[in-house]
Chain A
Amino acid sequence: MRLETRKLLDKAFSGLGLIAIAVMAVALLLILTPIIWRGSKAFVFRGTVEHRRVMLEQFDRGNPDRFNQEAAQVAAARAPIYQMMEAFEAEMKAMKSAERREYQSAFKEVEKSIEQLLGPIPGEKTPVLLRQQYGQTRWDRTLVKLHEVLYSEEWDYSNPDAMGVLVETPRSEHFAGTQLEPLFPYLEEHLDEMMNPKTTFYWQFITDTSKDSHIFGGIWPEVLGTIYLTLGAMLFAVPMGVIAAIYLCEYAREGHVISFLRICISTLAGVPSIVFGLFGLAFFLNTIQVSDSKSVLAGSLTLSLLILPTIIRSSEEAILAVPRSYKEAALGLGAGRWHTVLTVILPASLPGILTGIVISMGRAAGETAPIIFTAAVSVGAPLKLWETLSQPTPALPWNIYNLCTEHEAVDEIRHVQYGMVFTLVAIVLILNLFAILMRARISKKLRG
């Protein structure tokens, strides 16, 4: 081959490599940026006075004196709203019944959306549902609710050939000439004073329990459930996997049975996770009944089956990578097989084994399908350690799915969903980082 052709090929290849890496970097950026950006909003956001009210009343957090001061200021700003509403109610009573009827349902809507925005109207009975006891806690949601107060929505189906068109009309037009008319511009102008938004760092989002199915509070039950499930899976899979790998590498005689076993392990690694989930339900819950209902135990067992092949394969590779000379040296010094494994082979293969373990840990933490039928519920309290034997738990991967598909107020809690995604990704990334660091440390120690 001519020199120039060779040089050209070299350049072409390194160019291709660069392009591949650049594409990968862009893809990574495209995936991680929204996760971090949106997820961080669960932790850092403009929190209204209602957020601080929830914190104080539900989580016993914050300074009551300072809050009362703030609450008084806010109440003062809100007072005209309620006065206007009262005045309008009186006005309505004085109206003729036909006219009154015209306003009544529209007023009900206004009342309802103001309750949603600011919380229950003072002097009325405290609502039963927790979510109705407080106004909007986040400024971004506050603005959305404000819009709902200011505009009424109607769908226009007059053109039969087209889809319905959303028509928004300002409510102030509807109430023109009544006592209620000035409420709308007042609300728009003084919303700041009524809600008093402040930049809030809510890092307790991770450690707070959720109130009223994630409307308020944090995601601790999910985080804890994920930790339980992952550690539980490790508890079963790591000893079994490492011991199996040692057996396959050091003890087993090569033969048909062992080759068959190896094929089985490889196949197991390729089985779809939903199949593992169904197997877990059929075997652990229905057949041997490790618990009466779904439980962390059953979920951990199912997850451990899922990651077992990965652990076996990576441990096997790590053990086979230990130089033969170490083994010879140990045996030559009169060490038995077991001693050789324990004192020489395992320490030398530890970095590789650990890498496999942490990678499977990341996988166990993020798997959804195996826990749907065996461990996960949508809402639950954080479990005590012994309850994991019999109780199901919420878990991050399942609740991410659940929040965006089945929650009755999906729009209200988008931030929780993003926060969960962020937390899960962070957990997995931290685990991987930890593995890399540990691996580097042990390798350094081994290299001397």
Chain B
Amino acid sequence: MTQDITLKKIDTFADHGDDDGACETHIEAKEFSLFYGDFEAVRKVNMEIPKKRVTAMIGPSGCGKSTLLRSINRMNDLIPSTSAGGEMIFDGHNIYAKNIDVVTLRARVGMVFQKPNVFPKSIFDNVAYGPRLQGIRNKQELGEIVEQSLRNAAIWDEVKDRLQANALGMSGGQQQRLCIARALAIKPEILLMDEPTSALDPKATAKIEDLIGELRQNYTIVIVTHNMQQAARVSDLTAFMYEGVLVEFGNTKQLFTNPENPQTENYITGRFG
């Protein structure tokens, strides 16, 4: 019974039409572990995230999926007493090596957070924040980048007349798309999304999901979500994590319809988690 309903719910899968299975690896985790003090939040994960695909991470709360996501641009550094083991390879380098410049890494790996976190500045200044950091001062150039980023984030038509208005005056869904535009403005190669729709209503969620489908053509996207339907709808590949361990990782449709691991099956059919 439970299985029937669950299966019925998850019946729409991402259909990007170009899935041949063979594509370049963009990020690779090799025996990667992450510790908060003594606690091992991510345990020896091996994972290859392909280029220009949407990879979803699912799993119960506290399973380490967000930690793994935030390890990709070293946002965990903000928390004192974290340490990493193994390797996280991006562009041929282990990003946890000593000589890595975190600032450059983060400029290449953009991130969208759970709650919309726009700056208390104008819409324009929000999007222009990243480019300005990179030293772009030319007004025309900035204007073009801002417009392009806002168009890519499918919010241009809604805000083009009030670019100088404070971003905090927008709705939650608009703010989140502005955050995506802000992340796109630094021209990243990878976009990390940490439960980007969990604070939004269904309508705004649908818009963001559509947007992810479009962004897929140009960016590698890694998305953490609590919502299994969402993972099924937007992703090409899905990773299931449990207690810090990567239990199963593979083609989304296959993972949801025919999981190899019984734990995965239990989780996606709603028996636990």
On whether the beta carbons of B168 and A329 are closer than 8 Å, the reply is no
**Contact yes or no, B75 A328, CB < 8 A:** yes
Residue A343 at the B interface, CB < 8 A? yes
Using Cβ atoms and an 8 Å threshold, which residues of chain A touch B73?
332
B119 at interface, CB cutoff 8 A: yes
Contact (A334, B186) CB under 8 Å given A326-B119, A339-B133, A447-B120: yes
Asked if A379 CB lies within 8 Å of chain B CBs, one says no
Q: Which residues of A contact B106 (CB under 8 A)?
A: 331-334
The reply to whether B120 and A332 form a contact with Cβ atoms under 8 Å apart is no
Contact with A along B57-80 (1 / 0, CB 8 A): 000000000000000010100101
Inter-chain contacts of B166 with A (CB < 8 A): 445-448
Q: Which residue of B lies closest to A336 (CB)?
A: B103
CA distance A335 to B167 in the complex (A): 20
State whether A332 touches B183 (Cβ < 8 A). Answer: yes
Contact A329 B120 (CB under 8 A): no
B107 interface residue per 8 A CB criterion: yes
Selecting from B28-36, B109-117, B223-231, B239-247, the interface stretch reads: B109-117
Instruction: Tell me whether A253 and B80 are in contact (CB under 8 A).
Output: yes
Closest residue of A by beta carbon distance from B168 = A448
* A443 nearest CB across to chain B (Å): 10
Contact A334 B130 (CB under 8 A): yes
Q: Does A63 contact B (CB under 8 A)?
A: no
Cβ-neighbour of B134 out of A330, A332, A334, A347 (below 8 A): A334
Q: Which of A253, A323, A334, A344 has the most CB of B within 10 A?
A: A334
8 Å CB interface, A390-448 against B? 445-448
Q: Does B182 contact A (CB under 8 A)?
A: yes
In the bound complex, residues from chain B placing their C-beta under 8 Å from that of A323 are 117
Q: Does A141 contact B (CB under 8 A)?
A: no
Q: Which of A248-281 contact B (CB under 8 A)?
A: 253-254
Q: How far is the CA of A446 from the CA of B120 in the complex (A)?
A: 5
Whether B183 pairs with A333 at a CB distance below 8 angstroms is: yes
In this assembly, does B136 line the interface, its C-beta being within 8 Å of a C-beta of chain A?
A: no
Most chain B CB within 10 A, of A323, A327, A448, is at A448
Minimum CB distance partner of B77 in chain A: A331
A334 to B179: give the CA distance in the assembly, Å.
14
- Chain A contact-residue range equals 20 to 34
A223 to B121, CA, bound (A): 39
A325 within 8 A of B: yes
Known: A334-B103, A335-B103, A339-B133. A329 touches B119 (CB 8 A): yes
On chain A, the residues within 8 Å of B138 by CB distance are none
Q: Does A244 contact B (CB under 8 A)?
A: no
**B156 part of interface (Cβ distance < 8 Å):** no
**Interface range, B side:** 20 to 34
Is residue B169 contacting chain A, with contact meaning CB distance below 8 A? yes
Q: Which of A326, A334, A446 contacts B117 (CB 8 A)?
A: A326
A residues in contact with B2, CB < 8 Å:
none
Given A326-B119, A332-B183, A334-B186, does the pair A448, B167 have CB atoms closer than 8 Å? yes
Nearest-neighbor residue (CB-CB) of B132 within chain A: A343
- Residues on the A chain within 8 Å of B75, using CB: 328, 331-332
- Is there an interface contact between A328 and B129, defined as CB atoms closer than 8 Å? no
B7 CB–A CB distance under 8 Å: no
B182 to chain A: closest residue by CB: A333
The answer on a CB contact under 8 Å between B111 and A348 is no
Enumerate chain A residues within 8 angstroms of B169, measured Cβ to Cβ: 448
B165 proximal to A (CB < 8 A)? yes
Given contacts A445-B166, A448-B165, whether A333 and B117 have CB atoms under 8 Å apart is: no
Does A347 contact B129, Cβ atoms closer than 8 Å?
no
Are B103 and A332 in touch, CB under 8 angstroms?
Answer: no
In the assembled complex, the Cα of A334 lies from the Cα of B103 at a distance in Å of 5
Considering the complex, give the chain B residue whose CB is closest to the CB of A443: B120
- Say how far A176's CB is from chain B's closest CB, in angstroms: 86
A448 to B106, CA, bound (A): 28
Q: Report B169 CB to chain A, min CB distance, Å.
A: 4
Q: How far is the CA of A323 from the CA of B116 in the complex (A)?
A: 12
Contact between A334 and B133, CB atoms less than 8 A apart: yes
A323 to B119, CA, bound (A): 10
CB neighbours (8 Å) of A446 from chain B are: 120, 166, 168
Least CB separation from A448: chain B residue? B166
Closest B residue by C-beta to A343: B129
Q: How far is the CB of B48 from chain A (nearest CB, A)?
A: 24
Chain B residues near A253 (CB-CB < 8 A):
80
Q: Enumerate chain B residues within 8 angstroms of A331, measured Cβ to Cβ.
A: 75, 78, 106
- List the B side residues contacting A447 at CB < 8 Å: 120, 166, 168
Verify B115–A325 contact, CB threshold 8 A.
yes
B258 within 8 Å of A by Cβ? no
Q: Does B140 contact A (CB under 8 A)?
A: no
Asked if B104 is at the interface (CB within 8 A of a chain A CB), the reply is yes
- Which of the listed residues B103, B104, B165 has the most CB atoms from chain A within 10 Å of its own CB? B103
Residues of B within 8 A of A347 (CB): 120-121
> Looking at the complex, which one of A254, A325, A332, A339 makes contact with B80 (CB distance below 8 Å)?
A254
CB distance from B127 to the nearest CB of A (A): 10
Interface CB pairs A-B, < 8 A, 18: A328-B78, A329-B117, A329-B118, A329-B182, A332-B110, A333-B106, A333-B183, A334-B107, A334-B133, A334-B134, A334-B186, A335-B133, A343-B129, A445-B120, A446-B166, A447-B166, A448-B120, A448-B168
